Amino acid sequence: MARPNNGLILLVFLVGSVAAASLGSLATASSVDTWYASLVKPSWNPPNWLFAPVWTALYAAMAVAAWRVWRKRDIPGTATVIRVYWIHLLLNTAWSFLFFGLRQPVAGLIGIVILWGTIFWLLGQFWQRDRWAGLLWAPYLAWVTFATALNFEIWRLN
């Protein structure tokens, strides 16, 4: 059996990240300047312009981290880790629809807590297989930790 082309597989991971980001932005776009702008937010809420560059960098890092782990597919359990990675992208996208699309902070909070747990688990799995993948993944966990706290505060304040 021919070995898969590493560059092509990296492209698949990048396209998956772009697809998740694009779908999430569909749910977000209609609410950012209307519903979200009307919510009471904590003083530490970042400015809206910050979210796009942060998420762009995170989605790229996610894809590269997953690709690096995929390259270690000879390690037992890695196929499961990669499957959970793809499921995690669905959870990531779902949060946008729960919070922004449905305009339901409590549903978003439930979704992001599940997402956070998945990201945390994946960090451990990535770290075991490839330290660079783990390092690439860590900022994502940090950002979603912050986003979880922000989601909680928005729910609490509104």
In Å, how far are 37, 45, 55, 73 from 49, measured between CA atoms? 13, 12, 11, 38
pLDDT one digit per residue (tens) for the chain, 158 residues: 567 788 999 999 999 999 999 999 999 998 999 999 999 999 999 999 999 999 999 999 999 999 999 999 999 999 999 999 999 999 999 999 999 999 999 999 999 999 999 999 999 999 999 999 999 999 999 999 999 999 999 999 99
- Nearest partner of 88 among 149, 5, 9, 13, judged by Cα: 13
- The whole-number pLDDT of residue 26 equals 94
- Nearest partner of 93 among 71, 62, 66, 47, judged by Cα: 62
pTM score, whole prediction: 0.95
- The whole-number pLDDT of residue 1 equals 59
CB 123 within 8 A of CB 136: no
